[in-house]
Amino acid sequence: MKRISILFVCMGNICRSPLAEGILRQLVAEAGLTGHFTVDSAGTGGWHEGEPPDRRSIATAKSHGIDISGQRARRIRPSDLSDFDLILAMDRQNLAALGKSARPGANIHLFGEIALRTGEDIPDPYYGGPEGFELVYTRLLAGCSSLLETLGVERASCSGNTSSVR
């Protein structure tokens, strides 16, 4: 079975994308599929490179039994655009930024379209309080659960072909 690699992208890689990475890693581990997935996150901007996730993201994840404190922010690299099977932007602004540097046919999508099937942006909770981080966590959990279910069903029926998410 082909290993599936997923990259979550937000602006600074300290709020939304680290939460999504932590959530999907946890779900994959709980499903016993750790060896079948590579999960990472990055930002379109490099302001926070090398820093841990925002303390509120860490606290929100921790309150749900997920430890993201060891993650470090990084800016997306050109190689990411070809190395990952699926790249999911948290909002349209980051989707547009990714699209400017991507090769034609790159597998870049809006998280809300692929994972939630609503087309919604995942709001940036950076300038708000804990309730915004909890709302983001809830949307990311719903989307990551749906994404894993979709990929799991496909994997079982198509021997690892991820073409339906492309």
Active site residues per annotation: 10, 16, 124
Measured CA to CA, the distance from residue 158 to residue 59 in angstroms comes to 38
Helix (H, G, I), strand (E, B) or coil at 108: strand
At a CB cut-off of 8 Å and minimum separation 6, what does 64 contact?
Answer: 137, 141
What are the angstrom distances between the C-alpha of 42 and each of 46, 49, 119?
9, 9, 21
Measured CA to CA, the distance from residue 144 to residue 98 in angstroms comes to 21
At a CB cut-off of 8 Å and minimum separation 6, what does 161 contact?
Answer: 2, 154
Task: Enter the DSSP assignment of 71.
Answer: -
